Amino acid sequence: MKPRITLITLGVADLERAVAFYRDGLGWPTEGIVGKEFEFGAVAFFDLAGGLRLSLWPRASLAHDSGLKETPPAATDFCLAHNVKSREEVDAVMKLATAAGATVVKPAADTFYGGYAGYFRDPDLHLWEIAWNPQMLPSD
């Protein structure tokens, strides 16, 4: 297996609300919700940098498709990270996410590795780290 991830799917409680958060709140482009004509098929896709895609799919649909029982969300199961080019950009993204409806878990502050980072949860409790790491600057 090649070490590659091409799609990250987040299970969400309310697909319309989740799309509004990422599209309207964070400004991420999407064609909106597709697959509404199929039972358990409604999903939204967002194109990210490097060919990666994010999909938002109702938790009930993800549980149905995988054959697993739907469980309560846990914000500490995993964390998505968004690295930026400056401390100021960390603050700007945290402010944008908060205005979109995110809950700040940890305000941005200096880190032990010499960077600057903060954490927020989206409306479905998914944890995001927004970080400026001088050793891991994005290339774009």
Assigned domain for 139 exists: no
Q: What is the pLDDT of residue 138?
A: 87
Number of domains in the chain: 2
Assigned domain for 73 exists: no
* pLDDT > 70: percent of the chain: 100
User: Can you read off the two tokens belonging to residue 62?
Assistant: 């993800």
The residue segments making up the domain with residue 87 are 79-132
User: How would you classify residue 61: left for phi > 0, otherwise alpha for psi between -120 and 50, otherwise beta?
Assistant: alpha
Task: Give the Cα separation of 33 and 10 in Å (integer).
Answer: 14
Give the CATH number, domain containing residue 92.
3.10.180.10
Assigned domain for 37 exists: yes
Q: What are phi and psi of 96, to 5 degrees?
A: -60, -45
- Report whether 32 contacts 22 (CB < 8 A): no
Of 10, 17, 100, the residue nearest 52 (C-alpha)? 10
Assigned domain for 33 exists: yes
pLDDT tens-digit map of 27-81: 999 999 999 999 999 999 999 998 999 999 999 999 999 999 998 888 888 899 9
Write down the pTM of the prediction. 0.88
Q: What are phi and psi of 86, to 5 degrees?
A: -155, 160
Q: What is the pLDDT of residue 134?
A: 93
Task: Give the Cα separation of 45 and 31 in Å (integer).
Answer: 7
Same domain, 98 and 62: no
